[in-house]
């Protein structure tokens, strides 16, 4: 028996009774698209919206791990951003903002930070960027912002790889941990104190370090 279920194509969403031996003649595992695949998918969805010349390469490199549905959502969000900005054509900046919205939430320009908090956030993000820029096995820094987001982030530093990476070396992983701790180090050195702003960085660094020991050995 062969069943085509386009809206229930994830194995973990099917009843276990349907997954017993003999129930399905064939299972097709759909992998996430690679760099060229993401470019092609973005191009397909962009055909349905008015847009200027789009740098698909930079958008595709910033969406590693995204599925086709994720990319469709990014294009839709970019179209909404263009309309809210009073334009009738989607630009590369709209797509980049859409990626950032999905990653970190929408901008909260109305959130009030004290001058001291703004200074701390600026030093924190600069610490991330400087550490990343000084490394040789680290993705280039693409953008730094201290505009608060709805996810709770008061700022972030975005790194975008120059190409697709299938394997990560020990140096790559160690550099990621070092970059994650760069913000806290900058706070301590330049502000003479530490804040709760590095809590998410420490959480990510801890998960990565644990994975290096328990999974990657």
Instruction: Confirm whether 203 is a catalytic residue.
Output: no
138 Ramachandran zone, left/alpha/beta (phi>0; psi -120 to 50): beta
Alpha-carbon torsion (113, 114, 120, 122), positive or negative: positive
Question: What per-residue confidence (pLDDT) applies to 7?
Answer: 44
Question: What per-residue confidence (pLDDT) applies to 129?
Answer: 94
Alpha carbon distance 87, 89 (integer Å): 6
Homologous superfamily (CATH) of 115-214 is Peptidase M41 (1.20.58.760)
Q: Name the CA radius of gyration of the chain, rounded.
A: 21
CB–CB of 152/96 below 8 Å?
Answer: no
Q: What percent of the chain has pLDDT over 70?
A: 93
Alpha carbon distance 115, 217 (integer Å): 44
**Tokens for 80?**
């909404």
pLDDT digits (tens, 9 = 90+) for 82-128: 999 999 999 999 999 999 888 778 888 778 889 999 999 999 999 99
Alpha carbon distance 149, 29 (integer Å): 35
Alpha carbon distance 199, 205 (integer Å): 10
The pTM of this model reads 0.75
CATH for 1-104 (3.30.930.10, 1.10.8.60, 3.40.50.2300, 3.40.50.300)? 1.10.8.60
18 pLDDT tier (thresholds 50, 70, 90): confident
Helices and strands in the chain: count of H runs, count of E runs: 7, 2
Sequence ranges of the domains in the chain:
1-104, 115-214
Query: Which residue, among 113, 119, 112, 126, has the nearest Cα to 192 in the 3D structure?
Result: 119
- Residue of 77, 97, 100, 125 marked active site: 125
* Main-chain phi, psi angles of 141, to 5 degrees: -75, 125
Residue 212 has pLDDT above 80, yes or no: yes
- Helix (H), strand (E) at residue 101: helix 92-104
Residue 141 has pLDDT above 60, yes or no: yes
* Main-chain phi, psi angles of 88, to 5 degrees: -110, 10
| Cα angle, residue 133 at apex, residues 132 and 134 outer, rounded to 5° | 95
**Tokens for 5?**
């279920």
Alpha carbon distance 78, 80 (integer Å): 5
| Cα angle, residue 71 at apex, residues 105 and 138 outer, rounded to 5° | 70
151 pLDDT tier (thresholds 50, 70, 90): confident
């Amino acid at each position: 028996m062969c069943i085509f279920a386009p809206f229930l194509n994830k194995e973990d969403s099917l009843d276990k009774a349907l997954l017993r031996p003999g129930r399905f003649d064939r299972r097709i595992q759909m992998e996430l698209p690679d760099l060229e695949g993401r470019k092609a998918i973005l191009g397909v969805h962009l055909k349905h919206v008015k847009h200027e010349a789009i740098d698909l390469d930079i958008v595709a490199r910033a969406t590693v791990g995204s599925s086709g549905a994720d990319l469709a959502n990014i294009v839709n969000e970019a179209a909404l951003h263009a309309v809210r900005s009073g334009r009738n054509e989607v630009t590369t900046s709209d797509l980049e903002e859409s990626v950032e919205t999905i990653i970190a939430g929408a901008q909260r320009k109305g959130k009030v930070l004290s001058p001291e908090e703004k200074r701390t956030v600026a030093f924190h993000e600069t610490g991330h960027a400087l550490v990343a820029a000084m490394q040789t096995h680290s993705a280039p820094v693409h953008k730094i912002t201290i505009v608060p987001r709805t996810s709770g982030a008061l700022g972030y530093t975005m790194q975008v790889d120059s190409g697709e990476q299938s394997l990560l070396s020990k140096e790559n992983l160690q550099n990621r941990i070092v970059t994650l701790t760069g913000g806290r180090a900058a706070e301590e050195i330049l502000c003479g104190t530490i804040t709760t702003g590095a809590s998410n960085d420490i959480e990510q660094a801890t998960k990565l370090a644990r994975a290096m020991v328990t999974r990657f050995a």
